[in-house]
């Protein structure tokens, strides 16, 4: 099985990166590719004339890493989105990735449907649930599918959100493992 893990933290040594590494361990025997979005050349939509709405290839930023990220998801059998909570919202990297889907899928419903059909799980590093995160999966899964969403609150595991040490807590790893194995669907520990 091919598994893609996209983590959207602005840093590569925090809880999201640690969760991505833990997912690799939990999926031993499978091919797991970690994509730290902070390392991608990702151009947010800006200073254009909506070229992508007429011709996806005309996007002035079509040569950055966004197409490669979406292609990695399309070639996976399962994708994880690991997102931190920044001021009760996903980080800017997520919004840029999401809005740029226009230039990747525009005019290609078959490609979009193939993307939506890839099973996805969402892991949110947040000390409290947020309606924004609850709604986030709707852009990435087919209509009628119940999203698989897990909140991992560092505070619950006596961890500081900024230290990047949450996966050192046995209980946090156990919660992630249950989610991965399918025991906790739509879980809020």
Residue 103 lies in a domain: yes
Burial class (CB in 10 A: 0-12, 13-18, 19+), 44: middle
Residue 189 lies in a domain: no
Domain that holds residue 100: 2-181
**Is it the case that residue 189 has pLDDT exceeding 60?**
no
CATH number for 100? 3.40.50.360
- What is the value of pTM for the model shown? 0.92
Q: Provide, rounded to the nearest whole percent, the portion of the chain with pLDDT above 90.
A: 59
pLDDT at residue 183 in the model = 53
pLDDT at residue 158 in the model = 83
Distance CA 74, CA 79 (A): 9
pLDDT at residue 103 in the model = 84
CB within 8 Å of 127: residues ≥ 6 apart: 85, 153, 154, 155, 156, 161
- Mean pLDDT over all residues of the chain? 90
pLDDT at residue 175 in the model = 95
Distance CA 146, CA 121 (A): 10
pLDDT at residue 185 in the model = 42
Q: Which residue has the tokens 């009628």?
A: 144
Instruction: Please list the residues that pair with 63 across neighbouring strands.
Output: none
**Is it the case that residue 117 has pLDDT exceeding 60?**
yes
How many independent structural domains does the chain possess?
1
Residue 116 lies in a domain: yes
Residue 177 lies in a domain: yes
Helix, strand, coil % in the chain, rounded to nearest 5:
40, 15, 40
Residue 39 lies in a domain: yes
**Is it the case that residue 93 has pLDDT exceeding 80?**
yes
pLDDT at residue 182 in the model = 82
Residue 134 lies in a domain: yes
Residue 186 lies in a domain: no
pLDDT tens digits along 147-169: 999 999 988 888 878 888 899 99
pLDDT at residue 65 in the model = 92
**Is it the case that residue 98 has pLDDT exceeding 80?**
yes
**Is it the case that residue 121 has pLDDT exceeding 80?**
yes
Residue 88 lies in a domain: yes
């Amino acid at each position: 099985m091919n598994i893609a893990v996209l983590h959207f933290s602005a840093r590569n040594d925090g809880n999201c990166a640690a969760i991505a590494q833990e997912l690799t361990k939990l999926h031993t025997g499978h091919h797991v590719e970690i994509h730290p979005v902070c390392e991608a050349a990702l151009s947010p939509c800006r200073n254009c004339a909506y070229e992508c709405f007429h011709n996806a290839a005309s996007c002035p930023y079509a040569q950055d890493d966004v197409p490669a990220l979406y292609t990695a998801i399309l070639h996976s059998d399962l994708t994880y989105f690991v997102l931190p909570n920044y001021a009760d919202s996903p980080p800017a990297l997520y919004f840029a990735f999401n809005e740029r889907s226009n230039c990747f899928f525009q005019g290609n419903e078959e490609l979009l449907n193939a993307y939506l059909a890839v099973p996805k799980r969402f892991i949110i590093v947040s000390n409290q649930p947020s309606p924004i995160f609850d709604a986030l999966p709707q852009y990435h899964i087919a209509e009628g599918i119940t999203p698989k969403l897990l909140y991992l609150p560092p505070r619950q595991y006596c961890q500081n959100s900024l230290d990047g040490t949450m996966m050192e807590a046995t209980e946090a790893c156990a919660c992630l493992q249950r989610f991965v194995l399918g025991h906790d669907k739509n879980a809020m520990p």
